[in-house]
Structure 1
Amino acid sequence: MSNPVPVPARDTEEPVFTAVPDRAQWRYKPRRAFWRSKVVRAVAVITLLVLCALVILALVREETGTEGFLVGLGLAVLPVPLLMAAFRWLDRVEPGPWKNLLFAFAWGAFAAALVALTANTFAVRWIATSTADPASADTLGATVVAPVVEESAKAAAVLLLFLFRRRDFTGPVDGVVVAGFTATGFAFTENILYLGRAFGEDQEFGSSGLGSVTAGTFFVRIVMSPFAHPLFTVLTGLGFGFAALAARRRRVRRTLLPLAGLILAMGMHALWNGSAVFGGWGFLVVYAMFMVPAFALLTWLAIWSRQRELRTISGQLPAYAAAGWLSPAEPLALSSMRARSLARDFAARTYGRPAATAVGEYEAFATTLAFLRHRAQRGAAGADFTAREQELLHHLWQRKPVASPALTYAARATGQVWAPPQYLDYSGYNPYRS
């Protein structure tokens, strides 16, 4: 019988495994389920979106013809950069990853558009067959079916990011930005279809110039209402954003808020479509009395939410300054967008572009730290709060020699903290020198 191998005793609370090699040299690695691999999931999502893109674009080209498709594509792309830049500007305090926003745009442009086109067509045909009244079927399709189908399809992207990218989805601003990118993508594909159809109609009847159907469609969809679809879906995004602020134990609130936002989005969409279907003065009344005020209100709410994020930074980071992690001026500079930009410019002029990059990373880590602490106070940070906090503090400490002087300078230059005026020595006298 062989002698038993002794088991090493643990004589400290935190044993040190000095013999363990680097992770790259591990012989025994924990196995992960196939679908948990990030590469597999990324390939699956990209493949799905590419297939949806090929199908929806083929359907749109079949509907409009090649020439109409190209004209619609050229005109529909015009508002896209402006809308994306506007939503990205709202997200400047704690910018979300571009991969999330590109996924949202692609989902809206391809997956949601494909679902909407297929479901709307099927529903209208079924209603027309059942009622033997094609005109009523078109009206019901535009005012009832389309709002429900399209807003649900767009909301799926917001829901997926809310569930699987929860750390990047922290409040109303994130909801607004994700929903805005999704709706911008959806409107892009829809505009290709409508503008391509209008161009084909003009070609058939020989219309051209300002009186053409293409010009009218362009004016209504691109000039007057490029924000229509983003406006509807932003209501859903706000619901998810406010749900993200709720504590994890408040499951009812975290469920009802997104549903309420989705229902409001459907209602606003139905009102807009109804005004377009019935035409006349109804369209102008709805546009002037509902769409424009709602757009102004949501714009104000989005800007207020961004300012609220800055107030969260100014309220949470002083605790780390008191503990010695930050200088007293840094929380003030980090809660001002102008001071942040000035700090990066100062670092670039003084130390070079790598220093400006380090300051930008410092600002991002500090912002994430402030929101992490804010969520922890509400009981929504998760069990790994301490580990994430320590990791962020580690990243800040690595960049502090460059970032701290730049942020202190920016705080003084923008009036966030008082700085004594510079006096010249007159005959050796300087009141600020002891």
Structure 2
Amino acid sequence: MSDWSPQPQPAAPHPAVPACDEQPLFDAVPARAQWRYRPSRALWRSKALRAGALVTLLGLSGLVILALVREQTGTEGFLVGLGLAVLPVPLLMAAFRWLDRVEPGPWRNLIFAFAWGACAAALVAIIANSFATQWIATATADPTSADTIGATVIAPIVEESAKAAAVLLVFLFRRRDFTGIVDGVVVAGFTATGFAFTENILYLGNAFGEDQEFGHSGFASVTAATFFVRIVMSPFAHPLFTVLTGIGFGFAAITARRRRFRRTALPLLGLALAMGMHALWNGSGVFGPWGFYAVYAAFMVPAFGLLTWLAVWTRQRELRTVAAQLPAYAAAGWLSPAEPLALSSMRARTMARDMAGRTHGPAAARAVSEYEAFATSLAFLRHRAHRGTAGPDFVAREQELLHHLWQRKHIASPALTYAAQASGRVLLPAPAPAPAPYRDYGGYNPYRG
């Protein structure tokens, strides 16, 4: 009798990279979808139908929230609040967009997130918070206690849940664009920025109305105090809360599909942390006259610093993923040996776009930018395949990305090779990029629209 016993099975091998021929074939991508991989869908799952319903919902929510805020603040207060509340919005949006530079997400997702926060989430919060506070005041016959409970318990639950809905929708219906922690941070940040924008209009407009009623002016006015607290000291408060939810969804995105409990629990944990921090912030007044400053210094500032470090570290980790995954495609002939080095450096990427723009014009610079986005998506796709989270359409998606890279290779590859050498990423001198005709592909990018 033999002494044979079953041996442990090796781990699933890393997906093989298809070799690059002189005229590569993309058999996994249907001919009609060579420019866009779009499986057929039933009418009720149509993207156009969903988009139309969503735009209608957000438009109606915007009209209702506009009427409610204007009713509470008055026309003059509304205009003053609008002018002051808009000031931090570009800065916050620019900061979150900067974090997303490695694999920039589509603007349509970010605009949706901002609109959801400013319209739908704000509308739900105003109606639900008012109803709950009035109900508690009627049930307890104690309006003061009702206001405290409403601010510290009801508002965090309602507001963070309403904002989390936007992150959940992007996670479910734009899964190809939601691939990691940075995507969760950015989507959550845009949603919370929109919510804070509408809320600041309300608070600043009411403060202006109070000043008009009692004759306050200058630095002693309620408007000035509200502006200092909400716009100067804590413009990042709402984004900070909701980013915790986004991080939970980001961890779920990089978790293997078979780990269903973890993929469900992580977003819920992030939402619970967001609610808890929001409750602590809203309830800081119960700690005495200096409670706000104590919570601000002891919790908000350190938490903001920690989350900023996490976001930046994650961005650097994304660049390391690009550097680790793309050499396999260079070995197969799809990329030049220097391209993975250039694509893993934000400085080299910028240099490649600038050089292409100077040599061949803005259209060439756009082609290089698209090439960089496709190559980054390809690296992340291969990384997810290695982790078991890529999905069953991995081959079709890989070939589609390779197809788009191939279409832009003649202009992007020399620019990136030059940038790798000029930025010191490679020591050997790179050949000067030869002038190449640029074909107009309409700037289409199905992964980064």
TM-score computed with the length of structure 2 as normaliser: 0.86
Paired position in structure 1 for 2:436: none
Moved over 6 A (4+): none
Q: Distance in 2 between matches of 1:398 and 1:33?
A: 31
Which aligned pairs between 1:59-70 and structure 2 lie closer than 5 A? 59-70=68-79
Gaps of 5+ in 1: 1-15, 24-29, 423-434
Q: Distance in 2 between matches of 1:152 and 1:333?
A: 41
Paired residues, number: 397
8 A Cα contact 2:421 2:430, kept in partner? no
Question: Which stretch of the first structure deviates more once superposed, 354-363 or 150-159?
Answer: 354-363
Paired position in structure 2 for 1:298: 307
Paired position in structure 1 for 2:362: 353
1:78 to 1:100, Cα distance in 2 relative to 1, 3 A = same
Q: Distance in 2 between matches of 1:299 and 1:78?
A: 21
Q: Distance in 1 between matches of 2:59 and 2:301?
A: 35
Q: Distance in 1 between matches of 2:304 and 2:118?
A: 22
8 A Cα contact 1:72 1:193, kept in partner? yes
- The alignment status of 1:337 with 2:337, answered yes or no, reads no
Identity %: 81
Q: Rg bigger for which structure?
A: 1
Paired position in structure 1 for 2:328: 319
Q: Distance in 1 between matches of 2:44 and 2:218?
A: 54
- The alignment status of 1:118 with 2:121, answered yes or no, reads no
Paired position in structure 1 for 2:94: 85
Which aligned pairs between 1:7-406 and structure 2 lie closer than 5 A? 33-276=42-285, 279-406=288-415
1:395 to 1:187, Cα distance in 2 relative to 1, 3 A = same
Q: Distance in 1 between matches of 2:40 and 2:389?
A: 29
TM-score computed with the length of structure 1 as normaliser: 0.89
Gaps of 5+ in 2: 1-26, 34-38, 432-449
8 A Cα contact 1:142 1:277, kept in partner? no
Name the SS for the 1:35 alignment partner: helix
- Aligned-residue offset at 1:276: 3.7
Amino acid of the residue matched to residue 51 of structure 2? A
8 A Cα contact 2:163 2:191, kept in partner? yes
Q: Distance in 1 between matches of 2:300 and 2:72?
A: 30
8 A Cα contact 2:421 2:429, kept in partner? no
Structure number with greater CO (CA < 8 Å, separation at least 6) is 2
8 A Cα contact 1:151 1:266, kept in partner? yes
Deviation string, structure 1 residues 305-347 (Cα, Å, up to 9, x no partner):
1101101100000000111111110000000000000001111
Deviation string, structure 1 residues 85-133 (Cα, Å, up to 9, x no partner):
1000000010110010000000000100000010000100111111111
Q: Distance in 1 between matches of 2:126 and 2:192?
A: 15
